[in-house]
């Protein structure tokens, strides 16, 4: 069966520090991968998605970047965190076909102080 | 731009009562998703609605989709405390006209069911 792993679960970082969140999927190949952010009172916002290795699409301009160095690995990064980067970050995947729902990781609660 | 609006955003109700959460979206789509999120936790898929008139039921929850009205409802029957959570609806971005992938989510309905 397929599983998605996301870490760390909680992160507290000072403003201006770098960020690296990692997400891996097991039990499938060539998944679509997604990064969402959930800020307080704002619902879920799609940040990046990837349909293959090295293919990244960004949905909103921001201080973050994403990379997909391997088929089942998706990384969210920042060179210098801002206060506004605080939030709950969720990685998700689906098999990429029609009618496919998203499966979410356990999330990372990021607090930038 | 695809917009997904839920209402109410906050709902407090008593056990045993019935209620409906509404989800409106701004563009043509024949696919809609409902998710549940417990505090501090990830999202759990509840329903995938794939066509006009689709109705799905799981326990005390029933979801329906009217693509002509661009409306989905999540109906709660005889609510119990365990159903307290935040419920999100989401629409596939590929129907938004921009060709983007992924889902656009509503802001969520925070549901509290009191004994």
- Could you tell me which residues come within 8 angstroms of residue B89 by beta carbon, excluding any fewer than 6 positions away? B4, B6, B21, B23, B25, B32, B33, B34, B35, B72, B74, B105, B106
Comparing A47-61, B15-29, B96-110, which segment has the lowest mean pLDDT? B96-110
Give the pLDDT confidence score for residue B96 in this predicted structure.
58
Chain segment B60-98, per-residue pLDDT in tens: 999 999 989 999 999 999 999 999 999 999 998 776 555
Q: Residue B100 and residue A102: Cβ atoms within 8 Å?
A: no
Mean pLDDT of chain B: 90
Q: Which of A23, A44, A58 to mutate to test the interface with B (most CBs of B within 10 A)?
A: A44
- For residue B101, report the phi and psi dihedrals to the nearest 5 degrees: -100, 175
Considering only CB atoms, A43 lies closest to which of B33, B100, B105, namely: B105
Q: Which residues of A touch B103 (CB under 8 A)?
A: 46, 102
Chain segment A16-51, per-residue pLDDT in tens: 999 999 999 999 999 999 999 998 767 888 899 999
Instruction: Give the confidence band of B99 by pLDDT, cuts at 50, 70, 90.
Output: low
Q: Which residues of A touch B110 (CB under 8 A)?
A: none
Chain segment B22-60, per-residue pLDDT in tens: 999 998 777 899 999 998 889 999 999 988 888 999 999
Q: Which residues of A touch B34 (CB under 8 A)?
A: none
The distance of B65 to chain A (nearest Cα, Å) reads 15
pLDDT at A98 over 70: no
Comparing A87-101, B56-70, B79-93, B101-115, which segment has the lowest mean pLDDT? A87-101
Percent helix / strand / coil, chain B, rounded to 5: 5, 55, 40
């Amino acid at each position: 069966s397929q599983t998605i792993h996301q870490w760390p679960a909680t992160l507290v970082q000072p403003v201006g520090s770098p960020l690296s969140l990692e997400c891996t999927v097991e039990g499938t190949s060539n998944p679509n991968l997604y990064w969402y952010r959930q800020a307080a009172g704002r619902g879920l916002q799609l940040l990046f998605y990837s349909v293959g290795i090295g293919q990244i699409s960004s949905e909103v301009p921001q201080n973050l970047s994403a990379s997909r160095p391997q088929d089942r690995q998706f990384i969210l990064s920042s060179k210098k965190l801002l206060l506004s980067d605080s939030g709950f970050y969720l990685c998700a995947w689906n098999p990429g076909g029609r009618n496919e729902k998203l499966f979410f990781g356990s999330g990372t609660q990021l607090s930038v102080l | 731009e695809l917009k997904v609006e839920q209402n109410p955003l906050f709902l407090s109700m008593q056990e045993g009562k019935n209620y409906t959460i509404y989800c409106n979206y701004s563009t043509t789509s024949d696919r809609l998703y409902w998710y549940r999120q417990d505090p501090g936790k990830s999202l759990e898929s509840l329903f995938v609605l794939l066509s006009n008139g689709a109705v799905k039921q799981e326990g005390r929850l029933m979801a329906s989709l009217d693509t002509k009205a661009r409306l989905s409802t999540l109906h709660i029957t005889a609510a119990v405390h365990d159903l307290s959570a935040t419920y999100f609806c989401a629409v596939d971005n590929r129907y938004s006209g921009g060709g983007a992938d992924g889902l656009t989510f509503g802001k969520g309905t925070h549901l509290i069911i009191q004994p």
